[in-house]
Amino acid sequence: MSVFKSFTLSLLLSAIALPAIAQDYFISNAKLVTNSGDGIINNADIIIRDGKVAQIGTGLVAPADAEFIKADGKWVTPGLIAPFSQLGLVDVGAEDATNDISSKDSETSISELASDSFNPKAVSIANTRRVGVTHTVISPRAAGESIFGGSGLIANLSGEFDSIEKEQAFIYVQLGGRGTSNSGGSRASSFRQLRAALDDAGAYPSRFKGPNDGDALSRQDAAALVKALRGQMPLIIASDRASELLNIVQLKSDYRNLDIMVLGAAEGWKVAADLAKAKIKVMVDPHENLPASFDQVEARLDNVVLLDQAGVDYVITNAGALGVSKPMTLTQHAGNAVGNGLDWNKAFSAITETPAKWFGLPSTEVSTGKPATLVVWDGDPLNVTSAPTMMMIDGKNQSLKSRQTALRDRYNPANQDTRPHKYR
Amino acid sequence: MKNLRFTLLVAASITLLGACGDNPDTETKTDDDKATAFASTYAPMPSETTLIKNARIIDGTGQEYENANLLLVDGKINAIGADASGDAAVTIDAEGRYVTPGIIDIHSHLGNYPTPSVRAHGDGNEVTSPITSEVWAEHGVWPQDPGFDEALQGGVTTLHILPGSANLFGGRGVTLRNVPSRSVQGMKFPDAPYTMKMACGENPKRVYGQKGGPGSRMGNVAGYRKNWIKAQGYQKKREKGGEDFQRDLQLETLADVLEGKILVQMHCYRADEMVQILDIAKEFDYKVTTFHHAVEAYKIGDILKENDTCAAMWADWYGFKMESYDGILENVPFVHAAGACAMIHSDDENGIQRLNQEVAKTWANGNRAGLNISKAEAWKWLSTHPAKALGILDETGTLEVGKRADIVLWSDDPFTTYARPEKVFIDGALYFDKATGLKPKSDFRLGYGEME
């Protein structure tokens, strides 16, 4: 792994040594989602210079050296940020040798960095970029006897070796059914482990004469949890059952600095006021409406609408779907939140600006001086029939080709080539 | 050919019984009657003569009416078209909204892998032997699965429940009306043919590799062939009959496949494997009705067309196992464009709630890749082709006069994320009505939430 790291570093250094000359762009006549107080601007022209938004207006004149992109009234939006995924940690889910999502036989947990596992060249990165996602939160999963999955990261989807934006962005905690089974078999055991771990971090380093002196954590893992205890790094806690969510509210009052983001919260609507009051954030999947387990017997389609009404701070994920490792369907999940009653702008913010704020990424607002991370769409981005026609991350044009489009082009029935497929 | 053979067989068995001197009452105890164990007791709720007017109708045959009426009488479609009218007890003004056939999901595990997904609910796969053609999916279906009710609210009026894919021969599938019932018999689509689930590839060899095999794709193919040979032998014995003849449930299902009475629904991802399976079907003279999942079907659309074999696919699932690595977003439209019978399927209790969106996604991606498929044509992936592949197209799947009135009235264009079913009719009876809150509620849902 260290070889890989130093390789990354050397690439990074060479990039600094030889700055690329940024192409400037002029996007004409866009339906621009600004994610700012300006809302949606129709007939917007956008000038992008040196990777940044230089000017927004109507009837602007294209700079001579800028590449001209006709939006023709189509949507232009900030890039999407998938608030939860396992992108780049796995090639083929069922093939253990390709799957770095969790490490069930390891003796450590929190101190393991998913960024060491992250592979920006996994084909799912380009496949997901193609559907409009420019950034993603990438999380490991808890396994073995631990409720902790380790530290997650945030990356952009350029597919470049330097695409990690935050190496240690949060710590993942598994409660609910899986958390209880990891920790010994009951919610009593999972909460004991969680509180003991937080106490170990609080007592670090004094408690640790030896590497295994903690009640729940090794010295390394306790050291890694300190930032979260101090609120300098969020804890993503997977949990769905209303009563367990109230336990988390209590946890927050016992450890006041924790920045808690609950993943799932299928029954969140039942305790929405408590979550709002405790300022516990929620990562919700608007497709979850079945009693998939006894942790989510009261899941309902308008969960996100009710959370919104109660003033809970939330992002939208596709975490309940089979495809969580690849946030391909993020826009569909956000779109269905709208179909079930959520305001479009709120749903869109929940997959762009809100996760940016939560994880300390640059604002996704499209305004003068901001980095040009934009997607040009052929329709409403939250409609399942829409797709990007162009994408830029920090002003740099991104390919919308991927292994999937290569397969598509080879086998397209519209393809007139009659040679054997391997020559096409 | 197959039907003829079947007819001859039944005639021969009746003659044989007659010769034994049984009286006419006991004479009805033929093979056919044995097959009616677990017979359907389905009866639709009462319906009223209903006229839906001013609708934008996609009828499932490839046609779209911009502004037409639909008359439902005695649970059947009585008239469709701009001038369709008649005395109706109920008139619904669709005000230009879409009306479509009810959605049919050919691959569901509702009821046999119900929610909550506790261990005790794992009734969808008899994972005890690679050959379990003797088991029937319906015997594992729990009619109180809350997923049925949610699927109804997604516009699903008929669905096919299959055993899982751990086995080479997984057992019989069953076609259900998506109606509330205390028993699975009360949901069974009357006279719909049985199907048999088979599986290719990774699953059988993974599950049985350390349990006596098959442990490779070679072993899979050997396993199919060995058992088809057994089934041929059984077929001959059964034809001959006699006192010594004893039914074998495992081989009975296989023999019924060879006689064209049971349709093969086969889980298969890779293109090359599907082509091998089609050769096995030729060797033993049976038909593969549908490949399920068929993630690489787009590579062999022409071959599927030649063999008149359908493919039931997802819109965008890929990469979760090696044989799904080559999944693309245009699979369904590419297979369709090659002239083969393409359709969507869910295999998922969430996906089944929004199959229209799955079709909308893949339809849009196909057209983006240069195809030119209309919405009316793409609708066939949701009802027409699944009905064909389940042998029930004569009764449902399209809005044609004389067919069952299985209908969805949508709030918006169903090829968008925002559309929702507003009314769902099964056999002309209203089973879901958003406006009045009419919807079924599983026993499981009782006692949770605020009590009234």
The residue of B335, B350, B358 whose CB has the most chain A CBs within 10 angstroms, and thus the best one to mutate to test that interface, is B350
Please write the tens of the pLDDT for every residue from B259-316.
999 999 999 999 999 999 999 999 999 999 999 999 999 999 999 999 999 999 999 9
> Is B109 near chain A, with CB under 8 Å?
no
Same domain for A70 and A138, yes or no, is no
Could A384 and B416 be called an inter-chain contact, meaning their C-beta atoms sit closer than 8 Å? yes
Amino acid at B8: L
Distance of alpha carbon B123 from alpha carbon B136, whole angstroms? 11
Could B117 and A293 be called an inter-chain contact, meaning their C-beta atoms sit closer than 8 Å? yes
The b-or-e profile of B398-421 (16+ CB within 10 A means b, else e) is bbbeebbbbbbbbbebbbbbbbbb
Distance of alpha carbon B145 from alpha carbon B352, whole angstroms? 13
Structure confidence at residue B33 (pLDDT): 53
Is the predicted pLDDT of residue B445 greater than 50, yes or no?
yes
List chain B residues with CB under 8 Å of A297.
Answer: 116, 448
Q: How many domains does chain A fold into?
A: 2
Of the partner residues B334, B418, B448, the one whose CB lies closest to the CB of residue A339: B418
Is the predicted pLDDT of residue B151 greater than 50, yes or no?
yes
Structure confidence at residue B29 (pLDDT): 45
Same domain for A63 and A115, yes or no, is no
List chain A residues with CB under 8 Å of B201.
Answer: none
- Closest CA relative to residue B86, chosen from B124, B115, B48, B43: B48
Does residue A2 sit within a domain?
A: no
Does residue A326 sit within a domain?
A: yes
- Nearest 10 degrees: Cα torsion B113, B114, B118, B124: -20
Structure confidence at residue A319 (pLDDT): 84
Range of the structural domain that residue A64 is part of: 20-78+368-400
**Which residue in B has a C-alpha nearest to residue A322's C-alpha?**
B317
Structure confidence at residue A107 (pLDDT): 87
Do the beta carbons of residue B175 and residue B388 sit within 8 Å? no
Region B179-189: mean pLDDT is 98
Residue numbers of B between 359 and 398 with CB closer than 8 Å to A: 360-361, 363-365, 368-371
Dihedral of alpha carbons B396, B401, B407, B408, sign: positive
Same domain for A344 and A380, yes or no, is no
Same domain for A255 and A389, yes or no, is no
Does residue A103 sit within a domain?
A: yes
Distance of alpha carbon B66 from alpha carbon B62, whole angstroms? 13
Q: pLDDT: is B30 or B363 the higher one?
A: B363
Q: How far is CA B108 from CA A349, B102, B123, B295, in A?
A: 34, 16, 13, 17
Does residue A191 sit within a domain?
A: no
Same domain for A91 and A74, yes or no, is no
Structure confidence at residue A22 (pLDDT): 78
Same domain for A257 and A350, yes or no, is yes
The residue of A325, A382, A385, A409 whose CB has the most chain B CBs within 10 angstroms, and thus the best one to mutate to test that interface, is A385
Distance of alpha carbon A337 from alpha carbon A286, whole angstroms? 6
Tell me, rounded to whole angstroms, the distance of Cα B355 from its chain centroid. Answer: 14
Same domain for A151 and A241, yes or no, is yes
List chain A residues with CB under 8 Å of B118.
Answer: 293-294
Does residue A31 sit within a domain?
A: yes
Could A407 and B354 be called an inter-chain contact, meaning their C-beta atoms sit closer than 8 Å? no
DSSP string, A363-389: P----TTSB--EEEESS-TTSTT--EE
**Which residue in B has a C-alpha nearest to residue A87's C-alpha?**
B319
A410-414, B13-17, B25-29, B44-48, range with the lowest pLDDT: B13-17
Does residue A376 sit within a domain?
A: yes
Enumerate the H helices of A261-411 as residue ranges: 272-277, 303-309, 330-339, 344-349, 353-358, 403-411
* CATH code of the domain containing A304: 3.20.20.140
Residue numbers of B between 302 and 331 with CB closer than 8 Å to A: 316-322, 325-330
Do the beta carbons of residue B86 and residue B49 sit within 8 Å? yes
Query: Any idea which residue has 């670090």 for tokens?
Result: A204
Q: Is residue B12 very low, low, confident or very high in pLDDT (cuts 50, 70, 90)?
A: very low
Structure confidence at residue B35 (pLDDT): 54
Of the partner residues A95, A290, A414, the one whose CB lies closest to the CB of residue B370: A414
Q: How many Cβ atoms from other residues are within 10 Å of residue B333's Cβ?
A: 26
Amino acid at A315: V
The alpha-carbon gap from A206 to the nearest alpha carbon of chain B, in Å, equals: 44
Structure confidence at residue B104 (pLDDT): 99
List chain B residues with CB under 8 Å of A404.
Answer: 318, 327-329
Structure confidence at residue A5 (pLDDT): 44
* CATH code of the domain containing A26: 2.30.40.10
Does residue A8 sit within a domain?
A: no
Same domain for A250 and A395, yes or no, is no
Same domain for A277 and A245, yes or no, is yes
CA atoms within 13 A on the CB side of A33: 27
Q: What is the pLDDT along chain A (424 residues), one digit of tens a residue?
A: 344 444 444 444 444 444 556 799 999 999 999 999 999 999 999 999 999 999 999 999 999 999 999 999 999 999 999 999 999 999 999 999 999 999 999 988 999 999 999 999 999 999 999 999 999 999 999 999 999 999 999 999 999 999 999 999 999 999 999 999 999 999 999 999 999 999 999 999 999 999 999 999 999 999 999 999 999 999 999 999 999 999 999 999 999 999 999 999 999 999 999 999 999 999 999 999 999 999 999 999 999 999 999 999 999 999 876 665 789 999 999 999 999 999 999 999 999 999 999 999 999 999 999 999 999 999 999 999 999 999 999 999 999 999 999 999 999 999 899 999 999 9
Strand stretches in A36-192, DSSP E: 40-49, 52-57, 67-70, 75-78, 80-85, 133-138, 148-156, 164-174
Same domain for A372 and A348, yes or no, is no
Same domain for A222 and A122, yes or no, is yes
Query: Coil, strand or helix: which one is A14?
Result: helix
Same domain for A341 and A386, yes or no, is no
- Closest CA relative to residue A169, chosen from A358, A13, A311, A305: A358
Residue numbers of A between 377 and 406 with CB closer than 8 Å to B: 378, 382-387, 404
Is the predicted pLDDT of residue B119 greater than 90, yes or no?
yes
A184-193, B32-41, B77-86, B163-172, range with the lowest pLDDT: B32-41
Query: Coil, strand or helix: which one is A360?
Result: coil
Q: Using only the alpha carbons of chain A, give its radius of gyration.
A: 22
Query: Any idea which residue has 């939250």 for tokens?
Result: A382
Q: How far is CA A179 from CA A161, A195, A322, A373, in A?
A: 33, 14, 19, 37
